[in-house]
Amino acid sequence: MTRVLSVASEAFPLVKTGGLADVVGALPAALAEHGVETTTLLPAYPSLAEVATGAKVVHRWRDLLGAEARLLAGTIAGHPLLMLDAPLLFARIGGLYDHADDWRRFAALGRAAADLASGVVKGRHFDILHAHDWQAAMGPAYLRYAPGPGPRARTVMTVHNIAFQGRFDAAVFAELGLPALAWAVDGVEYYGGVGFLKAGLEAADAITTVSPTYAAEIRDGRFGMGLEGLINVRRAVVSGIVNGIDPAIWNPQTDSALPRRYAATTLAGRAVNKRAVEKKFALDPGDGPIFTVISRLTWQKGMDVLAECLDDLVALGGRLALLGSGDAALEQAFLAAAARHPGRIGVTIGYDEPLSHLLQGGADAILIPSRFEPCGLTQLYGLAYGCVPVVARTGGLADTVIDANEAALAAGVATGFQLGEVGYNSLSHAIRRAIDAYADPAIWAAVQQNGMRADFSWRQSGRRYADLYASLEGQS
């Protein structure tokens, strides 16, 4: 039995701002099938209050990066959970991130993880410390430079998005409690400041990203965001493991957020959900295709390009139901498009988990024109729900969607539509291809069913993580 400490800043269903939470939340069940016991370590944000209340205290720090802290034990979806309870750091109003002392907050998370993974916390032992993204990345760095007295866990650093790096002023180095030698080009120093993700990538025994294509892309300056040199130096330990989806949460046959549940053989039932989408988004009822967007509204997601294509989408007979929030200018652009095209474009600015399920179960196609996409989950949900993905050919989108070109259609394997370099022409063209295919019910149903029958469970990827852990244990 391998014991893994999975450290992150989010995990569904307790706290979520994006795909990271879905993956961290799904991993324990995915890994259990392969003889791995996963304990998840999260900050005890106010949203965890219900799980934290009355939870057993398993450790106390009088001074964890300047804060008093306790470690509480609970469960998440039946698996072990540890919560870092440090009110000074995590009992905040506002968002999870972008606080002035984020360096202190997430250095504390890393320090706690390293303590757990090197014998400081009595009665706890882990074989592997698995750190997710920059918020957890100081874990491997502390383990490398300032471990506790016990045996040290081996470390895995997973990059869910290399654009978010946790970069801070050089002045914080003195407060991290690291030895002077950690201030080095192959340590925590990064372009003259402190780099959390950088430090984790240097320290970890193995590095993974969330798709094979993204693992290759980040070796290139266009995607590596300044870390491509380091990724190239460490390429022998870098691999890509594509995310799966949690079938307990994303399954159209059992989804309680859907007015009508259905399977690949009962696709006609989707029409009931489509009517519900029309109602929610004040769209004219009709038989033409409804596109959806469920996304952060950002440059990464190509949302500025999509906004330029909306007049064409409507002119071609399409409708759009968009759920998202993000950049103010993009929110305004989509609201303006909805005002220009009443009955054809409906926009909900916000974050709404049940509504995201309804859209997957009722819209015909989901648009994901990302400029880069480490894995992407909404296309996987789309595939599982017969909501055909229209995606950019990058990262995990390239690895999970098979373009409905002539060859793929003839071979019966097409699952969606891909576009190359994201721009007005390429996206408009992809939207037109999807609308044309929708007009042929036999082709459309085949594309939907191919996606619904594909396997995006965690089975294969869970095995890959388990194999990776086993190979690291073998080295120690």
Main-chain dihedrals φ then ψ at residue 255, nearest 5 degrees: -70, 115
DSSP secondary structure code for residue 403 in this structure: B
> Cβ closer to ligand GLC: 338 or 384?
384
Q: Which does 351 bind (CB under 5 to 8 A by kind): ligand ADP, ligand GLC, none?
A: ligand ADP
Which residue has its beta carbon closest to ligand ADP?
A: 19
19 interacts with ligand GLC by CB under 6 A: yes
Interactions with ligand ADP, residue window 307-326 (CB under 6 A) = 323-325
Determine the residue type at 104: R
161 interacts with ligand GLC by CB under 6 A: yes
First to last CA, the chain: 16
164 interacts with ligand ADP by CB under 6 A: no
> Cβ closer to ligand GLC: 379 or 428?
379
23 interacts with ligand GLC by CB under 6 A: yes
Q: Are 72 and 82 in contact (CB under 8 A)?
A: yes
Determine the residue type at 22: D
CB of 418 to ligand GLC, least distance (A): 16
Q: Which does 450 bind (CB under 5 to 8 A by kind): ligand GLC, ligand ADP, none?
A: none
- Of 205, 364, 373, 403, the one binding ligand GLC (CB under 6 A) is 373
CB of 300 to ligand GLC, least distance (A): 7
353 interacts with ligand ADP by CB under 6 A: yes
Q: Which does 210 bind (CB under 5 to 8 A by kind): ligand ADP, ligand GLC, none?
A: ligand GLC
Q: Which does 352 bind (CB under 5 to 8 A by kind): ligand GLC, ligand ADP, none?
A: ligand ADP
CB of 307 to ligand ADP, least distance (A): 16
Helix (H) or strand (E) holding 460: helix 459-475
303 interacts with ligand ADP by CB under 6 A: no
Q: Which span (272-280, 373-381, 412-420, 425-433) binds ligand GLC, by CB under 6 A?
A: 373-381
- Of 283, 377, 422, 437, the one binding ligand GLC (CB under 6 A) is 377
Distance CA(377)–CA(383), nearest Å, equals: 10
20 interacts with ligand GLC by CB under 6 A: yes
Q: Are 196 and 166 in contact (CB under 8 A)?
A: yes
* Closest CA relative to residue 8, chosen from 48, 68, 62, 57: 48
Distance CA(139)–CA(196), nearest Å, equals: 9
Pairing of the two strands 189-190 and 193-195: antiparallel
Half-sphere exposure of 331 (CA within 13 A, CB side): 10
Cα three-residue angle 277-281-286, rounded to 5 degrees: 60
CB of 288 to ligand ADP, least distance (A): 24
Alpha helix stretches (DSSP H) within 316-423: 328-340, 353-362, 378-385, 395-400, 406-411
376 interacts with ligand ADP by CB under 6 A: yes
Interactions with ligand GLC, residue window 236-265 (CB under 6 A) = 243
Distance CA(386)–CA(46), nearest Å, equals: 36
Hey, how many other C-beta atoms are within 10 angstroms of the C-beta on 224?
Answer: 17
Would you state the torsion angle of the CA atoms of residues 29, 144, 116, 3, taken in this order, to the nearest 10 degrees?
30
Q: Which span (101-109, 110-118, 146-154, 368-376) binds ligand GLC, by CB under 6 A?
A: 368-376
Strand order in 79-85's β-sheet?
56-64, 67-76, 79-85, 36-43, 2-7, 128-132, 154-159, 206-209, 238-240
Interactions with ligand ADP, residue window 266-295 (CB under 6 A) = 294-295
Binding mask 15-44 for ligand ADP (x = CB under 6 A): ---xxx-x----------------------
Q: Are 151 and 10 in contact (CB under 8 A)?
A: no
> Cβ closer to ligand ADP: 16 or 344?
16
210 interacts with ligand GLC by CB under 6 A: yes
Q: Are 375 and 158 in contact (CB under 8 A)?
A: no
Q: Are 370 and 395 in contact (CB under 8 A)?
A: yes
Binding-site ranges for ligand ADP (CB under 6 A):
18-20, 22, 294-296, 323-325, 351-353, 356, 375-378
Kindly list the residues in this chain that would bind ligand GLC in the complex (CB under 6 A): 18-20, 23, 160-161, 210, 243, 373-377, 396
